Amino acid sequence: MDDPPRLPRYGHYIDGQPTPPASGRHLPTDDPWTGTAWAEIARGDGADVAAAVAAARRAGTSGPWATLTPSERGRLLWRVADLVTARADRLAEIEQRDNGKLATEVGAQVRYMADYLRYYAGLADKVHSAVIPTDKRGVFAYTRLVPKGVVGIITPWNSPLTLTSWKLAPALAAGCTVVVKPSEYSSASMVELAALFGEAGFPDGVVNVVTGLGAEAGAPLVEHPDVAHIGFTGGTEAGRRIYEMAARGMKTVTLELGGKSPNIVFDDADLEQAVKGVVSGIFAASGQSCQAGSRLLLQRSIHDRFVALLLDFMRDVRLGDPRDPRTQVGPIATRPQFDKVMSYIEIARAEGARCVLGGRARPDLGSGQFVEPTIFVGVNNAMRIAQEEVFGPVLAVIPFDDEDDAVRIANDIRFGLAAAVWTRDLHRALAMTERIRAGTVWVNNYRATSFTSPFGGFKDSGIGRESGVDAIREYLDIKCVWVSTDLDVPNPFVRR
């Protein structure tokens, strides 16, 4: 009897080479559509992290990377962008198989990732230091922006390549070296992406990837004394633990964490357009997005009419194989997340919310990791379904009376990642954007992001910003230089 075919196996990527795990152990990585393992990844631990950090430190201090000009770093990033464009189909296929997102969405994300790389390729030599006019005679002062050093990047399973590029591109443009620890549920695409950096001519050790579990590989990366900065995207509780660990090592952090974003529709809005924005905000990517508009705030005068429009729009939504371009809602990416989403649906019912759409699993589809797009009405903002991040296709509809009431509900939450306002009144729109405590506020649209614009949250939604010019500064330290222009050294016992 023939042996079953061996699954593709991915090692780490350390010091420019595919590297087997020091322990010899591997983890299966499952296809959410079929529910079966399609590949194996290296199960990394502290020894693998130590090797990767050592390689990154060497590359940043004594290798050719340390002597490159910002313009030369930019040219290397541009080459990687070209390779990403050329291999986009391959990268998208692997990522889609790992996390079950729609093939159409993943393909678009991977191609857009190349634009992120090109943006920071161009920005690498355009972040300027400053000459400082001081109150001291006989001295000349200026600043220098210097790379922080080794950066640890930890990313989740929902959009691994995109969310890694948000950190990787500015870190490399700044001159840092990196060690990436992707989610154990979606690591294969990141290992394949890392090899493209070597192909583009990046020196060995500049980009490293260690795969494995958070406790076994992620924690040692955060705690390693030679790691200067941590860039993390994930849940708020995990982010808090990482922040605490990083603080013990006096590391800086960029944390893009959870959200429970309000999508606010006023009675003067274009309701048909707002319906499309609400659907995009919560049901795209099966709700598995930190910026999901999971709280729908409706002015009371339009509440019933808008819910009817929303239900009509969602009546014929197509669930199924995420590789099929006709599919609109795919599976939940992991079995633990599927169980969590279903538990919150039961919590909402127990709290007294009324389910008017969905609310069921679909065991008849693929592996059974499907949750129907779900809408609850009769929700008040104190309910758990309104306060806690579900990270699935579950929408909580909350009525409000006027602008003050909408602001009160929108801000009465520990999160502050994003929000949206739907209205034809420009004065109202601008006033609302000032009063809502969120890092991104959209007006008459939802989910728009760009490599040119900063993204991040307030409160428990994170620290720091990604994308735009602001992101590269997260990976740079400021050094101040004082040069004496006076030939006579002043009295050493008197401070200047």
Read off the amino acid at residue 121.
A
Determine the Cα–Cα distance for residues 149 and 229; give it in Å rounded to an integer.
Answer: 8
Q: CA–CA separation, 212 vs 346, rounded Å?
A: 32
Q: Of the residues 290, 372, 403, 466, which is catalytic?
A: 290
Partners of 296 in the beta sheet? 263, 397
What distance in Å separates the CA atoms of residue 176 and residue 388, rounded to the nearest whole number? Answer: 36
Angle at 342 between CA 341 and CA 343, to 5 degrees: 90
> Quick check: is 389 catalytic?
no
290 is catalytic: yes
Catalytic-labelled residue, pool 40, 256, 372, 474: 256
Dist. CA 236–CA 425, nearest whole Å: 35
Give me the residues paired with residue 225 across strands.
none
Burial of 71 (0-12, 13-18, 19+ CB in 10 A): exposed
Q: Measured at the alpha carbon of residue 119, what is the angle toward residues 117 and 123, in degrees to the nearest 5? A: 115
- Per DSSP bridges, beta strands 9-10 and 36-42 are parallel
Instruction: For residue 166, give the nearest of 443, 492, 387, 475 by alpha carbon.
Output: 475
- Taking residue 424's Cβ as centre, other Cβ atoms within 10 Å add up to 11
Residue for token pair 């004594």: 62
Exposure b/e, 392-410, CB count within 10 A at least 16 = b: bbbbbbbbbeebeebbebb
Active site residues: 256, 290
